[in-house]
């Protein structure tokens, strides 16, 4: 197990290096300098600024310097907000984004697995069709539509919940989390149903039933362990999707998160911020994929047997 984790961590290093390199050079080749928007900067000031951002050095030594900064956990200064570092911006935005993602994931797992198990217990009956139709709606209804519609209904017409903000008024976290989690709940429901259906037809389930175990124990203890493996494997990639989805949710609900900062940085051409947050996101996602792989391996003894091997 440890060997597997260590190996995957080692594999993550070249991945991140590629991401950093590609992003760095892409951003450097982008048209328009960071100060091109400002009117008539005095040459001395410009030179001083360029020196501060190391733009006066050759590209390759800029790249090396950036790598060494990263190794020290330093993302450099922001282009757009002088005096603020990218680290500060990430630290300011990340807690809200992380919390939002966590709640959404929780909603997805609880709601999705519940619906999936329910559907798998009586396939092709109403208790299967109903949750699965709801899941289909969840998949087809894009976040960018679901969010505004929820605001329209629960925020403006019924006036039950606050329409925007994050952590200012009680209940304002509910709509954003629900919006972000809905589509993933739908995917989780489908995966759980598929996984459970497959497991429930296996011999060891029949054995468990034949032993006279109560149905509850058979489902929750024996079947679920095998049935959730596809869900666990999905959670890694889902987390990546959650982060991207949070761009839209954050802008709809005005959540002061990293997603909104990133989109603003994209508009402002705040290159160091774009660069820093891309690398930050990529690192997070690589770590999450690792976590979900390890969890899936821990749940599935067959996968554990050839740990370290290629899939």
Partner 1 sequence: MNAPAEAGMTGYEEGTSLWQDAWVRLRRNRLAVAGGIALALITLLCVFAPLLLPYGYEQQDLVLGAAPPSWQHWLGTDVFGRDLLTRILYGGRISLLVGVIATGVALIIGVTWGAVAGYAGGRVDAFMMRFVDIVYALPFMIFVVLLMVVFGRNLLLLFLVIGAVEWLTMARIVRAQVQGLKQQEFVEAAVSLGLPRWAIIRRHLIPNAVGPVIVYTTLTIPAVMLLEAFISFLGLGVQPPASSWGSLISDGVETMEEYPWLLIYPGLALSVTLFALNFLGDGLRDALDVRSSKD
Q: Which residues bind partner 1 (CB under 8 A)?
A: 15, 18-19, 23, 26-27, 29-31, 136, 139-145, 148-149, 151-152, 156, 194, 233, 236-237, 240, 243-244, 247-248, 251-252, 262-263, 266-267, 269, 274, 277-278, 281-282, 285-286, 289, 310
Q: How far is the CB of 45 from partner 1 (least distance, A)?
A: 26
CB < 8 Å & 24+ apart, contacts of 23-32: 23/274, 23/275, 23/278, 23/279, 24/63, 24/66, 24/275, 25/63, 27/271, 27/274, 27/275, 28/59, 28/62, 28/271, 30/269, 30/271, 32/269
Q: How far is the CB of 244 from partner 1 (least distance, A)?
A: 3
In the three-class reduction of DSSP (H, G, I as helix; E, B as strand; rest coil), residue 85 is classed as: strand
Q: How far is the CB of 281 from partner 1 (least distance, A)?
A: 5
The nearer residue to partner 1, 70 or 285, going by C-beta atoms, is 285
Say if CB 90 and CB 284 are below 8 A apart. Answer: no
Take residue 257 and report the two structure tokens written for it: 């998160």
Q: How far is the CB of 202 from partner 1 (least distance, A)?
A: 18
Q: How far apart are alpha carbons 142 and 245 in whole angstroms? A: 10
The nearer residue to partner 1, 30 or 48, going by C-beta atoms, is 30
The nearer residue to partner 1, 78 or 278, going by C-beta atoms, is 278
The nearer residue to partner 1, 119 or 208, going by C-beta atoms, is 119
Q: How far is the CB of 253 from partner 1 (least distance, A)?
A: 11
Q: How far apart are alpha carbons 237 and 205 in whole angstroms? A: 30
The nearer residue to partner 1, 78 or 277, going by C-beta atoms, is 277
């Amino acid at each position: 197990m440890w060997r597997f984790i260590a190996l995957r961590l080692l594999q993550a290093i070249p991945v991140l290096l590629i991401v950093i390199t590609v992003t760095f050079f892409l951003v450097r080749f982008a048209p328009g300098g960071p100060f091109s928007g400002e009117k008539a900067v005095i040459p001395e000031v410009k030179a001083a600024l360029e020196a501060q951002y190391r733009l006066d050095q050759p590209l390759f030594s800029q790249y090396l310097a950036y790598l060494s900064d990263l190794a020290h956990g330093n993302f450099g200064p922001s282009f757009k907000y002088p005096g603020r570092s990218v680290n500060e911006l990430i630290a300011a935005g990340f807690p809200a984004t992380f919390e939002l993602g966590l709640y959404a994931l929780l909603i997805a797992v609880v709601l999705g697995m519940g619906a999936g198990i329910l559907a798998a217990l009586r396939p092709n009956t109403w208790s299967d069709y109903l949750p699965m139709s709801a899941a289909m709606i969840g998949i087809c209804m894009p976040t960018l539509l679901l969010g505004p519609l929820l605001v329209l209904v629960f925020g403006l017409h019924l006036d039950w919940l606050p329409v925007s903000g994050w952590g200012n008024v009680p209940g304002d976290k509910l709509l954003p989390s629900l919006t972000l989690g809905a589509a993933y709940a739908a995917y989780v429901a489908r995966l759980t149903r598929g996984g459970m259906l497959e497991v429930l037809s296996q011999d060891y389930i029949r054995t468990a039933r034949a032993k006279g175990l109560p149905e509850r124990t058979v489902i929750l203890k024996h079947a679920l362990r095998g049935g959730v493996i596809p869900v666990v494997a999905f959670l890694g990639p889902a987390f990546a999707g959650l982060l991207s989805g949070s761009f839209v949710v954050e802008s709809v609900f005005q959540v002061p998160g990293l997603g909104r900062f990133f989109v603003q940085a994209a508009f402002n051409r705040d290159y160091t911020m774009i660069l820093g947050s891309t690398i930050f996101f990529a690192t997070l996602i690589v770590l999450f994929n690792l976590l979900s792989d390890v969890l899936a391996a821990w749940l599935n003894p067959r996968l554990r047997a050839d740990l370290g091997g290629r899939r």
